């Protein structure tokens, strides 16, 4: 029987340990020595906290094809580095201007804005080094595919572009379709990349990859919808970040456009879509099924 709570906890512990090992002064030094303050800021942004859901998706998608958790960990760490970078930059005064993240001061509050920008840059760059490393997968052709996936997920047609649209949305005038497109990019694209990277690590064929991509796109929509609902319904204590921020910044969200109750109904339907995409898989996809359900039921 698949145990979601155990999978979630094991994955979080392994990601924490893996990042703590990787993000060390000696390991990060290149042609020059890594500056201590920058490494400390990277560690502040990447360690101690976070649900580690993107590495969990890598691990669960890879597990469908029999890949062991330890073999999918390096790719999961790469995706988490990009995620942590995105949070550091998302919190900057020029973007969402937040002081609290994962129950602690944001990186620019704990250090300063310039250091936070550079810590994000360094985590982003580091991610691609992890995917290019033979420890990630023995076959260089597979490693190249993984890199291409992470570029698509994090770049201008993915997360970075979605963050741009999110800021444009603050000025108003977004229809529901624009909101959905923006969210598919700012949040969905990296979740999609996490699932596809896991599948590619396992050598998925095109048919399986297609179904898992449909799953990931629905799961990504559910994830951001839940994030927007929690911004209205949760407390900063449980969430570890400020609440009520989206309305305060006039963010274009489906909660604002549909209302809270309709948004909750839509969340249920979206999780159902994610589950339906997995219908041809057996118990080997129970991890992904449980994670999609968790996306809608989580309270942090």
Binding site for ligand IPE (CB under 6 A): 50-51, 53, 83, 86-87, 90, 96, 102, 159, 163, 186-187, 224, 227, 241
Does position 217 interact with Mg ion (CB under 5 A)? The reply is no
Q: What does the alpha-carbon distance between residue 205 and residue 195 come to, in Å, rounded to a whole number?
A: 14
Please name which of 43, 49, 24, 51 lies closest in space to residue 110, comparing C-alpha atoms: 43
Our CB check for Mg ion shows the closer of 77 and 252 to be 252
Report yes or no: 34 and 175 within 8 Å, Cβ to Cβ: no
Does position 179 interact with Mg ion (CB under 5 A)? The reply is no
Our CB check for ligand IPE shows the closer of 86 and 115 to be 86
Our CB check for ligand IPE shows the closer of 96 and 217 to be 96
Q: What does the alpha-carbon distance between residue 22 and residue 259 come to, in Å, rounded to a whole number?
A: 43
From candidates 14, 90, 149, 286, binder to Mg ion by CB under 5 A: 90
In angstroms, the Cα distances linking 126 to 42, 118, 195, 280 are 11, 12, 20, 36
Q: Total number of residues binding Mg ion (CB under 5 A)?
A: 3
Per partner kind, with CB cut-offs from 5 to 8 A, the member of Mg ion, ligand IPE, none near residue 267 is: none
Residue 23 structure tokens: 């993000």
Query: What are the helix (H) ranges across the chain?
Result: 4-22, 25-28, 36-46, 53-63, 69-90, 107-110, 113-132, 140-154, 159-169, 176-183, 189-201, 206-233, 236-239, 245-248, 254-258, 260-276, 286-297
Interface with Mg ion by CB under 5 A: which range of 48-56, 145-153, 175-183, 221-229? 221-229
Our CB check for ligand IPE shows the closer of 115 and 224 to be 224
Per partner kind, with CB cut-offs from 5 to 8 A, the member of ligand IPE, Mg ion, none near residue 241 is: ligand IPE
Sign of dihedral through CA atoms 199, 204, 210, 214? negative
Per partner kind, with CB cut-offs from 5 to 8 A, the member of Mg ion, ligand IPE, none near residue 293 is: none
Residue 51 DSSP SS3: coil
Using Cβ positions, the residue closest to Mg ion within the complex turns out to be 96
Does position 188 interact with Mg ion (CB under 5 A)? The reply is no
Does position 254 interact with Mg ion (CB under 5 A)? The reply is no
Residue 235 structure tokens: 């407390």
Our CB check for ligand IPE shows the closer of 10 and 284 to be 10
DSSP string, 122-177: HHHHHHHHHHHSTTT-S-HHHHHHHHHHHHHHHSTTTHHHHHHHHHHHTTS---HH
Does position 96 interact with Mg ion (CB under 5 A)? The reply is yes
CB 29 to ligand IPE: min, Å: 27
CB 93 to ligand IPE: min, Å: 13
Our CB check for ligand IPE shows the closer of 45 and 202 to be 45
């Amino acid at each position: 029987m698949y145990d979601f709570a155990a999978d979630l906890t094991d994955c979080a512990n392994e990601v924490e340990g893996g990042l703590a090992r990787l993000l060390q002064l000696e390991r990060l030094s290149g042609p020059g020595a890594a500056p201590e303050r920058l490494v400390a800021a990277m560690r502040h942004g990447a360690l101690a906290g976070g649900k580690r859901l993107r590495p969990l998706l890598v691990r669960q998608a890879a597990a469908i094809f029999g890949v062991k958790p330890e073999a999918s960990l390096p790719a999961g760490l790469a995706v988490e580095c990009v995620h942590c970078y995105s949070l550091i930059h998302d919190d900057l005064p020029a973007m969402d201007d937040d002081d609290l993240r994962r129950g602690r001061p944001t990186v620019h509050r704990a250090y300063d804005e310039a250091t936070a920008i550079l810590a994000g840059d360094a985590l982003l760059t580091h991610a691609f080094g992890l995917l290019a490393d033979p420890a990630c997968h023995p076959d260089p052709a597979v490693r190249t595919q993984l890199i291409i996936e992470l570029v698509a997920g994090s770049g201008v047609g993915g997360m970075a572009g979605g963050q741009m649209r999110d800021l444009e949305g603050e000025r108003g005038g977004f229809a529901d379709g624009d909101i959905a497109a923006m969210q598919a990019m700012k949040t969905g694209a990296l979740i999609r990349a996490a699932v596809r990277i896991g599948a590619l690590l396992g050598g998925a064929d095109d048919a399986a990859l297609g179904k898992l991509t449909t799953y990931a796109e629905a799961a990504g929509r559910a994830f951001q919808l839940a994030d927007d609902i929690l911004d209205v319904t949760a407390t900063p204590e449980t969430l570890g970040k400020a609440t009520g921020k989206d309305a305060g910044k006039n963010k274009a969200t489906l909660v604002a456009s549909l209302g809270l109750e309709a948004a909750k109904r839509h969340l249920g339907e979206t999780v159902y879509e994610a589950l339906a995409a997995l219908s041809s898989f057996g118990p080997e996809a129970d991890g992904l099924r449980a994670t999609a359900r968790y996306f809608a039921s989580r309270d942090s």
